[in-house]
Copies of this chain bind each other. A is one copy, B any other.
Amino acid sequence: MTEVKIIGENLPNMPWQNKPESAVGPVWRHSDNPVINRNPAKGIARIFNSAVAAYEDRFVGVFRAETINGRPHLHMGWSDDALNWKIEEERIEFVNEKGQPFQPNYAYDPRLVKVEGTYYIIWCTDFYGAAIGVAKTDDFRTFVRLDNPFLPFNRNGVLFPRKINDNFVMLSRPSDSGHTPFGDVFLSESPDFVYWGKHRHVMTKGGQGWWQSVKIGGGPAPIETTEGWLMFYHGVTGTCNGFVYSMGAVILDLEEPSKVKYRSSTYVLTPEEWYEERGFVNNVVFPCSTLFDAESGRIAIYYGAADTYVGVAYTTVQEIVDYVIETNEVVADDAEIGII
């Protein structure tokens, strides 16, 4: 095996547990999962599908908070160890670029990505149907919501953590107005975060296995490695009783990230534990965020479990990249740039 390194910052105080002997597969769960339980703050029934980041000397999170009226909004949270979280009772207040209130009707499945010192929040918003919403903050006190980057219907907007060829790059999963029984991952570029184009197809649902046969969607922001952009994503299969969401992993070309280099033919984590199998939506593992330490190669994956809890799982860049290459199956023309 070639040695694989993360290209990025060090974060020695991130959560970590060594791989237990009982582990099956390249990703193992935190022993005290879930790290966020039901009713985590006043008026909030469940938190899941959420994103965290290192900020100054502690950790910050943007959380999908299902309020007790059943509607999702985004709430901030803070933690010293990225495991025990204090969730704010008030939702994030967004303003437009003039400083006027610019609140989404609902907001779910946030990602949180730092690019050139600014933190971007990307979520699923209401734009006469499900669409990608975006906002930015430098201090986690003022949140400036920007124009929606794409037309509806779309979900799972995932920003790359640096510009590529001078452009911002965002993945998304065009969808329909409902629970969407299809879906591939596309990529778009922007010179200014206002106008977006050069859309490319990145990867398709399907393949020999059935675990990602219905649809797929981007997960945490891709991690830059010496082998390419490592991205965890969700793959969905259908059953007589609904969808099952598992986690997969893919490696995209560093300079042309619409090209897939390697993609795991199997899931790397699938619902098995009680907090993944049982909840508001049974059988969901939905990764939205990672913390990682370039020096040690350690990666902590934050994932929503059963639309009810937040779980943490671990791997190392060497272990997961080796696994993806070993189990590689690049589907259809995903190795191409994907123009038409």
Contact = CB atoms under 8 A, between A and B. Distances in A.
Interface of A: 102, 104-105, 125-129, 147-154, 172, 174, 176-177, 182, 184, 186, 188-192, 194-199, 201, 204, 338-340
Contacts of A172: 151
B194 A147 contact: no
A12 B184 CA distance: 50
A95 to B, nearest CB: 13
Nearest to A332: B128
B105 A199 contact: no
Contact of A204 (B128, B147, B150, B198): B128
A186 B339 contact: no
A127 B340 contact: yes
B199 A174 contact: no
A199 B147 contact: yes
State the number of copies, please: 2
A197 B147 contact: yes
Contacts of A128: 184, 186, 201, 204, 338
Given A128-B204, A151-B154, 10 more contacts: A128-B184, A147-B198, A150-B151, A150-B199, A152-B174, A153-B176, A189-B195, A195-B196, A196-B196, A196-B197
A149 B197 contact: yes
Nearest to A183: B177
B340 A129 contact: no
A200 B47 CA distance: 31
A126 B105 CA distance: 33
A172 B184 CA distance: 21
A199 B148 contact: yes
B197 A127 contact: no
Contacts of A196: 195-197
Contacts of A129: 174
Nearest to A104: B340
* A-B complex: 5 closest residue pairs judged by Cβ atoms: A195-B195, A195-B197, A176-B176, A128-B201, A194-B197
Contacts of A153: 153, 174, 176
Contacts of A199: 127, 147-148, 150-151
A148 B188 CA distance: 11
Given A151-B154, A190-B195, A339-B147, A127 B201 contact: yes
A114 B186 CA distance: 30
A190 B198 CA distance: 13
A126 B340 contact: yes
A128 B194 CA distance: 25
Contacts of A154: 151
A213 to B, nearest CB: 16
Nearest to A195: B195
A189 B154 CA distance: 19
A30 to B, nearest CB: 35
